């Protein structure tokens, strides 16, 4: 992993499903040039993998702590990953 980029996996808890959190995350990721994916989990959390320049990933993470207007974020678990997200762009997964 380059010192200029990083990969993180996050799990967002709170009222984050049914409030367009995934679509909002994709829009934010595209805006900041971050690649990866976002998906809903069965336990009503949202999981995402972000890869990109350190500053862009950190900015996106900070935005995810607030989320879209209708969301309520109670907490985020963050773990650093070993390598970049596979593929290009940012996708919403089922």
User: What average pLDDT does the chain have?
Assistant: 93
Q: Which domains does the chain have, with CATH numbers?
A: 5-83 (3.30.70.100)
Nearest in space to 66 (alpha carbons), one of 8, 6, 25: 25
- Give the pLDDT of residue 84: 66
Tell me: pLDDT of 47 over 70.
yes
List the catalytic residues. 22, 40
- Give the pLDDT of residue 88: 81
Tell me: pLDDT of 32 over 70.
yes
Nearest in space to 48 (alpha carbons), one of 58, 37, 57, 40: 37
Per-residue pLDDT band at 3 (split at 50, 70, 90): low
End-to-end CA separation in angstroms for the chain: 28
DSSP H stretches of helix in 2-92:
21-32, 54-64
Structure tokens at 51: 């890869």
Cα separation, 1 vs 28, whole angstroms: 23
Structure tokens at 83: 């390598």
């Amino acid at each position: 992993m380059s010192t200029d980029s990083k990969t993180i996996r996050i799990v967002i808890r709170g009222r984050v499903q049914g409030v367009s959190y995934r679509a909002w995350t994709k829009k934010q990721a595209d805006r900041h040039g971050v690649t990866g994916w976002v998906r809903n989990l069965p336990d009503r959390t949202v999981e995402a993998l972000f890869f990109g320049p350190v500053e862009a990933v950190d900015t996106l993470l900070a935005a995810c702590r607030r989320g879209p207007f209708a969301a309520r974020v109670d907490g985020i678990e963050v773990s650093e990953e070993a390598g970049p997200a596979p593929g290009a762009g940012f996708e919403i997964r089922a």
